[in-house]
Amino acid sequence: MKATRLFPLLRLSLPALLIAALLLLAAFPEQVCPYDPYAQNLALSLQGPGGEHLLGTDRYGRDLLSRIIMGSQASIYAALLLVSITSLGGTLIGLWAGLSGGWMDTLLMRFADTCLAFPGLVLALAVAAVTGGGMVNAVLALAAISWPKYARLARSQALSLKGREFVLAARLSGTGPLMLALRHILPNAAGPIIITAMLDIGTMMMELAGLSFLGLGAKPPVAEWGSMMSVGRSMLQTSPWTVLAPGAAIFLTVALFNLFGDGVRDYFDVKSRKR
């Protein structure tokens, strides 16, 4: 393997291993938590980091390390679910618009433009508030405003590919529109869509944490990083670890997914240059 392709692969491998470990931790938090993340003990309220509680305790005496480990399940997997929904839904809409053309293309893209015209987080706040909050409604609210970028990307890829020789040959051989999109257009358009999705995970994680911080996402006592920061924000000056610990968890996780996204982009760029 040449060095031009080896270096992006190495950049991709380390974040991938760390993310795999993080996903495994988030999948089985009960087996890793040193204490019950929901057990209250007011006698241990707001203990500083160190000793038996490495990251300290919150106002209810709950171990912060255990709550951060438990909160990784909601924070990480909700973001992955959100990116999966938006990337899949937006891609299918974009392929449909690009291959259909005509009035259908115009209708779908003008609807996407309308969604993009509103400030994303403001629209998500409105949708989440109308639906009553909660983690599921927060995911749906962000999905409702995040799909257009995938739709426009998939449409542009479909428009550039549908005039290629292999697509025309498939049409002449009698391939239907659905199989044409799935077997010929989507595999060749997947690279930019995957890169966008990987780079979007960190953004979605922060936006979900933002909705939870504002009370429109996860509801207490559910352990979720944004909600934990919201509960502890009134004690930032007296007990800063109650906010800094979940904030550091968000920062490190988002940075890790962004590094992985950069590695995926570099790897696909090298592959495209070698064609």
- pLDDT tens-digit map of 150-209: 999 999 988 888 878 877 887 777 777 777 787 888 888 888 888 899 889 999 999 999
Query: Is residue 47 domain-resident?
Result: no
Domain harbouring 251, CATH code: 1.10.3720.10
Each as own residue / partner, the long-range contacts of residues 242-249 (CB below 8 Å, 24 or more positions apart, any chain) are 242/46, 242/56, 242/58, 242/59, 242/64, 245/49, 245/55, 245/56, 245/64, 245/65, 245/68, 246/64, 246/67, 246/68, 246/71, 249/68, 249/71, 249/72, 249/75, 249/225
- Whether 94 maps to a domain, the answer reads yes
- Residue 191 is part of which domain span? 7-26+56-273
In a domain, 209, yes or no: yes
Q: 57-86 pLDDT, tens per residue?
A: 999 999 999 999 999 999 999 999 999 999
Name the pLDDT band for 7 (thresholds 50, 70, 90): low
At 218-241, the pLDDT tens digits run 887 888 999 999 988 888 888 999
Q: Residues 135, 218: contact at Cβ < 8 Å?
A: yes
Residue 93 lies in a domain: yes
Domain count, the chain: 1
**Inside any domain, residue 243:** yes
Are the CB atoms for 246 and 225 separated by under 8 Å?
yes
Q: Estimate to the nearest angstrom the gap between the alpha carbon of 52 and the chain centroid.
A: 33
